[in-house]
Amino acid sequence: MKLVIFEDASYEQFYPLTYMRPTFDLRCGSTLLREKIERAFGRKADVVFVRDWLREAYAVRTSAKVNDLGALAGDDLVLVNGRGLWIGDEFPPAGRDACAMAGAEIVYATLTKHTAARIQAADFAGFLAAAAKAVPAAKSGLKLLGYPWHLIEENGAAIRDDFKRIGRSGVHGTLGPSAVIWGPQNQVYIAPTAVVEPCAVIDTQEGPVIIEEGARVNPHSRIQGPAAIGRDTQVVGGKIREGTTIGPVCRVGGEVEESIIHAYSNKYHDGFLGHAYVCEWVNLGALTTNSDLKNDYSTVEIKVKGQLFDSGSTKVGCFIGDHTKTSIGTLINSGTVLGMMSNILGAGCLLPKSVPSFVMFMDNKFYKAGLKQLTGTARTAMGRRKVTMTPQEEALIQRLFDLTKDDRDELIKKSRKEMMIQRGLR
């Protein structure tokens, strides 16, 4: 059997979170969507399919074959949509042809090698469409995530599921004097090299808390389950509230509620982050704060593919792309999207609901940012964590810089005119 995980055409709905990664490498719970799929099948993906322009950068990060249609030959196949949230007990039938659907969308399909051999297609999309027609369809109980806030909505349940599947609980690392596990003692997993320092509170009353290898929880931190603290992450005090995942190698303090910090990002200081997804290499300056609830309790609108879209949810925070940085005191409205590699200087009032990628935002205006300078800064930030930017990643960033040009050009031109008037130059 070959495990095939694919990214479908919905990846744009997750921008900017999916600029630098396939949809199936988004985090929900303590693990990535792909890792849940691999765990369910007890094996690494053999083949993955991603959008064409992500192929080279992703190929250096994975042992799977990438976008290789020929690799599907000669074996039974399980084709899994990478947007699926694999929690719970559903498992595909082995050794027969079947297609599991969520509405009109494919969650997964299983094909015997004989059926797979009969399918002729020029690309994977064609192969998948033909497969779906060739085999009997049934309704799946698994969810397909469609938008960024779905990751947040499902995060608590995903953490509970991840905890269950670790298969172990208890304190295997260090629990300092006066550190407390408040609630069921079997609802915590503290990995062998993790350290919970004195006077920290791990609150398991409402859900489990996972603290992974090398993580360190400083004094006066309160972590309320369900929550997951990733490998080598440091919680530097403050309130980590329910439904929060902090991925590997982050430094996080202040107040965080129902949010996902993907990996390698810092929110060291005070300030509130709620119902948010923060990508890699982000730095949130001291007192950066986002709203996640409107004063009139109405549903939050958010820009998706350039259009304002009603999320249908009253609790939506912000979504921040890779390498973006905010200054001290940045204030972010509910449902705000901050693109990747932007440098944002708060001006004491709420940011616009959408800040495009690769801009300098200051004095409430958008300015150009130099790509070489941004890339140099990114390389430095990564080097500080002993991570090297690959040439393929650098090429991907250049591609994304070009791809997002139209999103920012008009805003920059408009801002230039406003600045000239304000400075008395017009």
Partner 1 sequence: MAESIAERVKNVTAELLKVDPEKVKDSARFVQDLGAASIQSIELVAAFEEEFNIEMDQDEALNVPSVGEAVAYITKCVAEQHGK
For 348, the 3-state DSSP assignment is coil
Q: Are 357 and 18 in contact (CB under 8 A)?
A: no
| Spatial separation of the C-alpha atoms in residues 363 and 342, rounded to whole Å | 14
| Spatial separation of the C-alpha atoms in residues 209 and 423, rounded to whole Å | 53
Residue 389: CB minimum distance to partner 1, A: 17
Residue 420: CB minimum distance to partner 1, A: 5
Closer Cβ to partner 1, 133 or 416, answer by number: 416
Closer Cβ to partner 1, 98 or 419, answer by number: 419
| Spatial separation of the C-alpha atoms in residues 200 and 240, rounded to whole Å | 11
| Spatial separation of the C-alpha atoms in residues 132 and 168, rounded to whole Å | 39
| Spatial separation of the C-alpha atoms in residues 235 and 226, rounded to whole Å | 16
Closer Cβ to partner 1, 172 or 399, answer by number: 399
How far is C-alpha 209 from the chain's CA centre? 19
| Spatial separation of the C-alpha atoms in residues 162 and 28, rounded to whole Å | 10
Q: Are 71 and 52 in contact (CB under 8 A)?
A: no
Token pair belonging to 326: 């905010």
Closer Cβ to partner 1, 128 or 378, answer by number: 378
Closer Cβ to partner 1, 293 or 419, answer by number: 419
Count the neighbouring beta carbons within 10 Å of the beta carbon of residue 149: 23
Residue 414: CB minimum distance to partner 1, A: 11
Closer Cβ to partner 1, 168 or 423, answer by number: 423
Residue 369: CB minimum distance to partner 1, A: 6
Tokens 């004063």 map to which residue? 295
Closer Cβ to partner 1, 182 or 367, answer by number: 367
Return the half-sphere exposure (C-beta side, CA atoms, 13 A cut-off) of residue 338: 35
Closer Cβ to partner 1, 188 or 374, answer by number: 374
How far is C-alpha 77 from the chain's CA centre? 27
| Spatial separation of the C-alpha atoms in residues 278 and 256, rounded to whole Å | 12
Count the neighbouring beta carbons within 10 Å of the beta carbon of residue 111: 26
Closer Cβ to partner 1, 104 or 421, answer by number: 421
Residue 195: CB minimum distance to partner 1, A: 39
Number of H helices, E strands in the chain: 9, 42
Residue 368: CB minimum distance to partner 1, A: 4
List of residues contacting partner 1 (CB under 8 A): 345, 360, 362, 367-373, 412, 415-417, 419-420, 423-425
Residue 425: CB minimum distance to partner 1, A: 6
Residue 410: CB minimum distance to partner 1, A: 13
350 DSSP assignment: B
Query: What is the distance in angstroms between the CA of the first residue and the CA of the last residue of the chain?
Result: 69
Residue 290: CB minimum distance to partner 1, A: 24
For 332, the 3-state DSSP assignment is strand
Q: Are 272 and 257 in contact (CB under 8 A)?
A: yes
| Spatial separation of the C-alpha atoms in residues 343 and 173, rounded to whole Å | 38
Q: Are 93 and 1 in contact (CB under 8 A)?
A: no
Residue 408: CB minimum distance to partner 1, A: 12
Closer Cβ to partner 1, 310 or 363, answer by number: 363
